[in-house]
Structure 1
Amino acid sequence: MRFLTYEGLHATDFEPQLDRVRAAFERDDLAAVDLKKLHGGYYRVKLSDAARLIVQFVRWNGGRAALALELLPNHEYERSRFLRGARVDESKIEAAVEPLDERPIKYLHPTRTTFALLDKPLSFDDAQDEVLRRRPPLVVVGSAGSGKTALLLQQLRAAPGRVLYLTESAWLAQSARGLFVALDHDPGEQEADFLSYRQFLDSLAVPAGSAVTFRDFVGFFERHRQKLRFTDAHRCFEEFRGVLCASPDGPLSLEQYLALGVRQSLYDGEQRAQLFEVWGRYQQWLTEAQRFEPNLVAHAWKAHATPRYDFLAIDEVQDLTPVQLALALATLKTPGNFVLAGDANQVVHPNFFSWSKVKSLFWERLGAGEQQVSVLKVSYRNAPEVTRVANAVLALKHARFGSIDRESNTLLEPVPGEPGEVRGLSLGNSAELAGLDARTRRSTEVAVVVLRDEDKAAARAHFKTPLVFSVLESKGLEYENVILYRVVSGERRLYAELAEGLTAADVDVTALDYARGRDKTDKTSEAYKFFVNALYVALTRAVKNVWLVEDDPSHPLLQLLRVPFDGAQVGANVKQATAEDWQREASRLEAHGKLEQVEAIRSQVLRTQPTPWQQLDGPGLLDLFKRALEPRSVSRKAKDLLRDTLAVHPSRAGALLMNVFAASPLQASRQDIQTVQRVLSPWTSRRIKDVLADTERYGLEHRSMHGLTPLMLAARAGNLALVEALLDRGASRTNRDLYGLQPMHHALRRVWLERGFGAGDLGAMWEMLAPASFDVRVDDRLVQIGREQGEFAVFQLFVERLQMSKLSREPRLIGIGTSELLTYVEALPGVVLRDYRKKRPYLSAILSKNEALSTAVGSRRLFERRRHGHYVINPALSLWREGAGGEGQWLPADEVFATRLRLEPMRWMPNDFW
């Protein structure tokens, strides 16, 4: 067994002990290190009488390794990044025995003795390690699964000052931030933003309306089809976004557009003139439809782009246009401090991307210094056979059009493992198609991919799985198995032309020679780019197997790619999914914005149904106050429901109101405690099957009659096992209750019900429940607050405590006092708020710096001071609420945190109360 240490392990004072442990593991002598099993796949090693070492075991390519993660002096298990505050009684943990809990790892370097860490251990190959050793500016070229994102995050962690991770995808930005702060990573004084391009624009100034999508554009295009009969919506959208408004110098005039070279546009001169007329109408339509074109906003926002970042990392750079890249670069304090990562072979959307344009922009025009390009050839995602066929597609593109650029002139290398398969099925073999459908329709491991949206209906006629995607929709996803439905047959003539005149010798190559296309007037590479790259992207969505369903097995391209149509059965070993698997898949796709497939899962597979009880919302609660408390009200049911609701959502105002109507305050208090215990009873039980069954019946996010989701109730009950189970199925961390509280706030509230909870399970629960960041809008721009920053926890504590704010007669919230906050934080574990942040000077400084009227550098203006030492959340803030398909809206803080609802009990107080 090999022994490796985390590169961040600080063990200078224990080197002899580590050497002894290393030698013991290398001879497989577990008894010599007093190895004992902890939870979560972790083990502890005894280094000395007081010091302990946390280790984890992994396996790769037939080998085993012990990974030393963390050194704990003085038995300080509660401070472990990995055990998340769990209490460990050494007298009760058992000695470890074989077989050990060994986690699979995608790669382990054969000779290195250290490893990196994000949310899990990482070992970099030589090419990846070379990227980390290079200084910016740098371009990293690599396919999906080559490790680009992990390398960017390592670069970010090493950069001092304020840093930015930027990408087009909101999901990727959020996911990357989660990896960045995983396992309680402490960036020290570094300040990091993780932004999608839409968020980046908002961080400069929030534009009016929402970003135009291709689906929006299709509606506009159809109204002008008569003028544009020579083209289609895809090509027109690409021309508008990738040519007419993509230049950093500004949108093109008619004269500039007509003067473009033949390879700079998809259209000839006469067609360009007609397109330009429609382009003008398109800009008018954007205003009328309350949509904005990101490129046009990027031009308009140049004045807002002042230098603010010390380092910039852009992921999936091929998704951005030159003007978008130029705007991002303008926010750098030092022009050369950037790393770009991407893959030009994955361009299946409108932006006319090329690495030559990127190099021209960043190096020649902006003087960013010497060019450095690193190419990652190894694909850690795809099986060898999938990689072979994907390489054949790249070789075909090279043979037909020459090298697109030097950076993309590379084939993929697979890693050792199961070979996988790429096989074909004839569309005429109805029996085999029906069998494949029967084997795959209830599996979350199989997706169907078609060329365009309009091809989905035909695919669904044969395959009943809800997982049907167009190529464009499939970007960013991966599945164990992928069925390509008529991708080649759907464009039979075009793909035949691509294969015409080529032989096996042209595509069965191990390397690509650099050679540009000789005919500079030939625009077929641009015209066919979507189809070649679409096939490549579709193939590489598969981890293990690809099955192509085609009309004609003898099609020249299929023959060239050596796809066998031999009648062999495929999909025999596909795993059938449980309801839990489908819940998890629906939540994963929802995070990616794939709402069509999510709706299909919930309606066709899970068949979720409405709850038999009425779910209380904000307007419903306001109405309940009237029905229960109006002088002529005789509804005992309404009065009981109001009392229960105010007990479940405790507040100072609600308690005052209930005390007035109760026989005595003590009786009211006891009744509230009993109500909460009754409501939480199903959620405190160790038998969680009934709760999980309800989520399958009514949905993961169904509400109780008091307006709480299952995850909120599990957090409030302090049931760690149930919280883990719900999150594993994809329950939302960011949904809010009637008063704007999220599941993490309900976990914090548990501290008041059970004081020992803060020193127990809260640490683990917070690590799971707290989002990686949240966004606020202040002074008409987005400000992101990361979980690693002190403001994050303090803001969330205020959200949880708002309902306990002191009140004035107006009525008005007076706020939370610093002294009250200090009492609160003492009970919290370090994973929520680090020890040095629990001191009065630190908390006072955070509040003062972030006051609404503060002029301090870096002030986020999160709080408003109501009187000395008492603060509320700044009512001028807005917070982002996610909507369907990645859409969303900014909502005022008073609306998010239901200020009117919080004060409603005071309206019903007797006149003589004050």
Structure 2
Amino acid sequence: MQIVEYVGLDTSRVSAQYEKVRAALERDDFRQAQVKKLSNLTHGHFYRAKLDYANRLLFTLIRHGDHVCALMLEVIEHHAYEKSRFLRGVAIDEDRIPDVDALTSDGATPVRYLHPECREIHLLGNILSFDDTQDAIYREPVPLIISGSAGSGKTALALEKLKQVDGNVLYVTQSAYLAQNARDLYYSHGFGHPRQDATFLSYREFVESVRVPPGREVGWREFASWFTRQLPFRGLDAHQSFEEIRGVIGADANGALRREQYLELGVSQSIFPADERNRLYDLFERYQAWLVEANLYDLNLVAHVWRALASACYDFVVVDEVQDLTDAQLALILATLKNPDQFMLCGDANQIVHPNFFSWSKVKTPFWRDETLALRQQLKILQTSFRNAHEVTRIANTLLKIKQRRFGSVDRESNFLVMPVGDEAGSVSLIAGSDSGTKVLNDRTRQSTRFAVLVMRDEDKAQARTHFQTPLIFSIHEAKGLGYENIILYRFISGYPAQFDAIAQGVTANDLMDDNLENRRARDKTDRSLEVYKFYVNALYVALTRATTHVYLIESDLGHPLLQLLGLQQRVEGIDAKTQTSTREDWLKEARRLELQGKHEQAEAIRELVCQQPAVPWRVFDEAWLRDTMDRVFRQPASGSRSRQQLLEYACSYDEPILVRWLATRVRFDAARHLEQQRATLGRKHLSAYFSACSREVLQHCDRYGVDHRTPMNQTPLMAAAAAGNVALVESLLERGANPEATDHLGRNALHWALLEAFRDARFARGPFAALYERIAPPSIDLMSGERLVRIDRHLSEYLLVQTLWALFKSRFAVPGGRARGGFEAASILDAWRDLPDHILAPERKHREYLSGLLSRNEITRDYSYNRHLFTRLAQGWYQFNPALAVRCRDASGESWVPLYEALNVRLIAESADPRYLSHINALMEKAHLAPLSPPIVASGGREVPKALPSPVRPLASHAGFSVGDIVSFTDKALHTRTGTIVRLNQKTAAITCADSEWHWRVSYLLLRRSTA
């Protein structure tokens, strides 16, 4: 068996043992290598070989065609499987895993390409083997510029280069989805770099990290709506006007062009002829005024102003899909470099569909002016495509030949054709745009998630919808980042015949015979054709390359010259697309994927057209229900017992001790007199289906009401499954597209529910929590602090701290006696963290010194260069969230910044808080510049809230100063510190219940200490 090795494999401590095991595996001697298969994993097939008494070698199998290899992944030292990067914290019992006498290809991961000689393998979500060109670029020093087609591996190379760098590094690209996807790939398989702080941002998020612009970003739809009202400018093309403003007038790195500068531009530097430019500049001036009036911003114009605010804070920067950015935007990014030559740019000039005048020569110009950078500047070309089938690539290459022959070379670096890798032949079919042709194709594809329809512009979607019933209809501006097995191009050429006539003008079939593109400029230097028609030819190229296997062009003019040049003829043998039907689960997953890409229109269409979902038939205990029920129960004492019982169930589920106590003392509801017992029963009443190993009932509800429907307790199924610790169900829900960032009415998501269980139950923390955390923890938290974006990524120390404080926030206002001051201190946080797995929270981070330092260095008054200003200090050692923070919230309508205390719903928390804390809450609201609290529902009832909390029901005599309900700590026989609640007082001992024990502890009063929490 051939052996290949992960590039991050470190065998230095066991080199001799490793060589012996490797040799045994190469000769298929699995008995000598003592190979065993790890069978209790759900995320892959893994094997281990024995290196020596204490150490193990983890590996997996990969397959290229019929060739199977063993991929060596990791040395596991001292049997510590739980610390493995690849096993996700799953506990492994070596005595229970079976020996393997022979390895088969069953379960081997297929790879698209495997280098015939090189043994190095890279891991970025998928298993990657670099070809010779990629490997050479991987080893090149920076600065580095890479030009490559779609699917050429540009992003993979950039991320692997990023892994080699120490310090504060940045990856930025136009699309938020691509940035998030790059981040997920980067940290896949548990990768971490202890000497690196990596940030992954879209360009807009990058701008926000300098300063959040006021208002909302202007887009094409806003511009088009405004443009139709500009009567003096009728006759100008709206699309070309938008491109000229964004890509020419506002795009210069030195600032927006003055009128005289704009008028002096050369012929090829503008879409518009010289005699129309004064009119365009008048439109630009009116555009600037409109942005202010409409509270909108243009990212180009913002880039000019923000340049003065940018600080040199990054040691290395990767700019991906650089062709989507203007000179002004690129200049702002590079202004944040500490060392100006520590960058890497990646892109493809043939994929420009955003309004700019990108060319590689313009990108290189600033660097050639610097002699030192000019000597080191390199541009590498990737010509291989690992994405598209052969026929799709052939047609796309032919289009590039037409473009080059008609307009000349855009620049030397974009003057190449693409070579496909793989055995997939694929197809490109031309179909008449008749009703019968489109009907057949629609009938066979409308129920499949593997087909998408692309049109040129947004306004073309309406006509496409009259023929195609799939919700997956996109304009070309929405297509970047998409990839489908089958793409239908609807009237791309027939819808814009004049433009494509001009593109094909003067080009003959003989001109396209040569497969090598000659670097040649257009003969007529006054010809503006490339600038005018670039969008159309690039849009067709991007549309073609969105398909991995099959393309179907629906055209009414089958004899169009461009179609003839592409060598496409109408299919006469019928449409070969087979009828495909995707499951409801597939559609839900697709809707979730599109939501993450920001394509809310298509995601919503899926739910309306395909997954029609009624509302849940049960009453949801949300904020409106809670306020209404509290009003009826506490203001109308004669209300029925049903409302009281429901309120008790809610209080037990959401851990509301003050609300339970009020039910017991104010309305004399006897069932509320035993909180601890009720929490274990009523608190889990609505979770019973989620504890079950058989999840059929839950999944049936998801199919009927949606994967993110609300349970009676206003949880999503994912929240409920996380709280129940049901890892298998969590995985099933995520597979169906469940949203891990959905929140309840207190702003808590699935991770927060899992954290609360882990803080209460040591077995939960040491058991399912590790697997849950890997699956449901959001990749980052976006906060606005000091008018700038602060992204708390999951690999940062602050991440778990912020999530912990978020989960426990409500509890800070229910601590008896007002001792918590409405805040947190290190002891209570450390107590919550006590049983968390070490690979989630390293042991050295569970000490007071480390935690105190983490809190203090992020305090708003602290002078520290990397201070994120997350916390305010209430008193010595007591902290709370910075009231000035805002958090980015996302829903079906888009994104918005919400004050942190509104996201946490402090006003609702105050309704069931200990009355002693109301002044603390109002103080926080005042600091957050939010309106003060209204009188609580209970306080505005017929009875006054007592000055002190009422004594527990059935009060018992106080002993040694302790009472039932006190929170105390003690040291057990194993010298472990435990914290619990006194539930019974005896003559010499107290009975104490602890979250991590099923039984009561009987402890002498002499050994008890009052908890400071």
Common topology (TM > 0.5): yes
* Distance in 2 of aligned mates of 1:426 and 1:680: 55
Q: Deviations over 1:799-836 (max 9, x none)?
A: 11222225588998522221122222221113321222
Moved more, 563-572 or 868-877: 563-572
1:43 equivalent to 2:44? Answer no
Unpaired runs of at least 5, structure 1 = none
Match runs of 1:304-343 below 5 Å: 304-343=309-348
Q: Deviations over 1:709-741 (max 9, x none)?
A: 111111011010111111112211212212111
Which of 148, 151, 154 pairs up with 2:157? 151
Q: Deviations over 1:15-44 (max 9, x none)?
A: 233223333333344444333222232222
User: 1:93 Cα shift?
Assistant: 1.9
* Distance in 1 of aligned mates of 2:431 and 2:703: 35
Report the counterpart of residue 776 of structure 2 in structure 1: 769
User: 1:656 Cα shift?
Assistant: 4.8
* Distance in 2 of aligned mates of 1:641 and 1:665: 11
Report the counterpart of residue 861 of structure 1 in structure 2: 869
Which of 74, 80, 101 pairs up with 1:76? 80
1:524 equivalent to 2:529? Answer yes
Report the counterpart of residue 381 of structure 1 in structure 2: 387
1:21 equivalent to 2:21? Answer yes
Report the counterpart of residue 5 of structure 1 in structure 2: 5
Q: Deviations over 1:472-506 (max 9, x none)?
A: 21111000011111112112233233223323332
Match runs of 1:353-392 below 5 Å: 353-364=358-369, 368-369=373-374, 370-392=376-398
CA, structure 1 residues 337+658, in 2 after alignment: closer, same or farther (shift >3 Å)? farther
Secondary structure, counterpart of 2:549 in structure 1:
strand
CA contact (8 A) 1:439 1:571 kept: no
1:533 equivalent to 2:560? Answer no
CA, structure 1 residues 36+809, in 2 after alignment: closer, same or farther (shift >3 Å)? closer
CA contact (8 A) 2:63 2:105 kept: no
Report the counterpart of residue 56 of structure 1 in structure 2: 60
Q: Deviations over 1:601-642 (max 9, x none)?
A: 111111112111233433442333222222545143332222
User: 1:649 Cα shift?
Assistant: 1.4
Higher relative contact order (CA 8 A, sep 6+): 1
CA contact (8 A) 1:3 1:65 kept: yes
* Distance in 1 of aligned mates of 2:689 and 2:539: 50
CA contact (8 A) 2:147 2:348 kept: yes
1:671 equivalent to 2:678? Answer yes
CA, structure 1 residues 658+122, in 2 after alignment: closer, same or farther (shift >3 Å)? farther
Match runs of 1:506-521 below 5 Å: 506-521=511-526
* Distance in 1 of aligned mates of 2:357 and 2:329: 13
Report the counterpart of residue 563 of structure 1 in structure 2: 568
1:823 equivalent to 2:831? Answer yes
* Distance in 2 of aligned mates of 1:704 and 1:497: 59
**Which of the pair is proportionally richer in helix?**
1
Identity of aligned residues (%): 43
Letter in structure 1 aligned against 2:201:
L
Report the counterpart of residue 739 of structure 1 in structure 2: 746
Unpaired runs of at least 5, structure 2 = 915-935, 940-944, 950-1013
> Cα RMSD over matched residues?
2.1
* Distance in 2 of aligned mates of 1:569 and 1:693: 39
* Distance in 2 of aligned mates of 1:619 and 1:831: 40
User: 1:407 Cα shift?
Assistant: 1.2
Q: Deviations over 1:412-462 (max 9, x none)?
A: 11002111111111123x444322221111110011111122222222222
Report the counterpart of residue 86 of structure 1 in structure 2: 90
Report the counterpart of residue 707 of structure 1 in structure 2: 714
CA contact (8 A) 2:644 2:663 kept: no
Q: Deviations over 1:543-586 (max 9, x none)?
A: 00111111133222112111232323444445420000000001
1:237 equivalent to 2:272? Answer no
User: 1:98 Cα shift?
Assistant: 2.8
Secondary structure, counterpart of 1:707 in structure 2:
coil
CA, structure 1 residues 366+532, in 2 after alignment: closer, same or farther (shift >3 Å)? farther
* Distance in 2 of aligned mates of 1:232 and 1:693: 52
1:192 equivalent to 2:198? Answer yes
CA contact (8 A) 1:239 1:350 kept: yes
Report the counterpart of residue 919 of structure 2 in structure 1: none
Secondary structure, counterpart of 2:261 in structure 1:
helix
1:120 equivalent to 2:126? Answer yes
* Distance in 1 of aligned mates of 2:664 and 2:78: 49
Letter in structure 1 aligned against 2:79:
H
Secondary structure, counterpart of 1:424 in structure 2:
strand
Letter in structure 2 aligned against 1:381:
R
CA contact (8 A) 1:326 1:361 kept: no
Report the counterpart of residue 168 of structure 1 in structure 2: 174
Q: Tell me the TM-score normalized by structure 1.
A: 0.96
Report the counterpart of residue 692 of structure 1 in structure 2: 699
* Distance in 1 of aligned mates of 2:478 and 2:381: 26
CA contact (8 A) 1:503 1:560 kept: yes
May I ask how many residue pairs the two structures share in their alignment? 911
User: 1:904 Cα shift?
Assistant: 1.3
CA, structure 1 residues 183+99, in 2 after alignment: closer, same or farther (shift >3 Å)? closer
Report the counterpart of residue 595 of structure 2 in structure 1: 590
Secondary structure, counterpart of 1:287 in structure 2:
helix
Report the counterpart of residue 955 of structure 2 in structure 1: none
User: 1:49 Cα shift?
Assistant: 2.9
CA, structure 1 residues 143+246, in 2 after alignment: closer, same or farther (shift >3 Å)? same
* Distance in 2 of aligned mates of 1:60 and 1:579: 32
CA, structure 1 residues 286+717, in 2 after alignment: closer, same or farther (shift >3 Å)? same
CA, structure 1 residues 809+346, in 2 after alignment: closer, same or farther (shift >3 Å)? same
1:250 equivalent to 2:255? Answer yes
CA contact (8 A) 1:445 1:574 kept: no
Moved more, 574-583 or 329-338: 574-583
Q: Deviations over 1:506-528 (max 9, x none)?
A: 23432211111121100011111
* Distance in 2 of aligned mates of 1:757 and 1:589: 34
User: 1:347 Cα shift?
Assistant: 0.6
Report the counterpart of residue 842 of structure 1 in structure 2: 850
CA, structure 1 residues 468+634, in 2 after alignment: closer, same or farther (shift >3 Å)? same
Secondary structure, counterpart of 2:163 in structure 1:
helix
* Distance in 1 of aligned mates of 2:172 and 2:602: 27
* Distance in 2 of aligned mates of 1:876 and 1:312: 30
Secondary structure, counterpart of 2:96 in structure 1:
coil
* Distance in 1 of aligned mates of 2:643 and 2:542: 57
* Distance in 2 of aligned mates of 1:665 and 1:634: 16
* Distance in 1 of aligned mates of 2:351 and 2:638: 65
* Distance in 1 of aligned mates of 2:15 and 2:514: 49
1:880 equivalent to 2:920? Answer no
CA contact (8 A) 2:621 2:650 kept: no
Match runs of 1:651-666 below 5 Å: 651=656, 653-654=658-659, 656-658=661-663, 660=665, 663=670
Letter in structure 2 aligned against 1:684:
F
Report the counterpart of residue 890 of structure 1 in structure 2: 897
Which of 324, 327, 347 pairs up with 2:352? 347
Report the counterpart of residue 756 of structure 2 in structure 1: 749
* Distance in 1 of aligned mates of 2:859 and 2:307: 29
* Distance in 2 of aligned mates of 1:854 and 1:651: 35
CA, structure 1 residues 572+278, in 2 after alignment: closer, same or farther (shift >3 Å)? closer
* Distance in 2 of aligned mates of 1:571 and 1:640: 62
Letter in structure 1 aligned against 2:871:
F
CA contact (8 A) 1:335 1:367 kept: no
Letter in structure 2 aligned against 1:59:
R
* Distance in 2 of aligned mates of 1:879 and 1:659: 37
Match runs of 1:205-244 below 5 Å: 205-224=211-230, 226-244=231-249
* Distance in 2 of aligned mates of 1:633 and 1:9: 70
CA contact (8 A) 1:627 1:635 kept: no
Letter in structure 2 aligned against 1:760:
G
User: 1:596 Cα shift?
Assistant: 1.7
Larger radius of gyration: 2
Which of 440, 448, 464 pairs up with 2:445? 440
1:454 equivalent to 2:494? Answer no
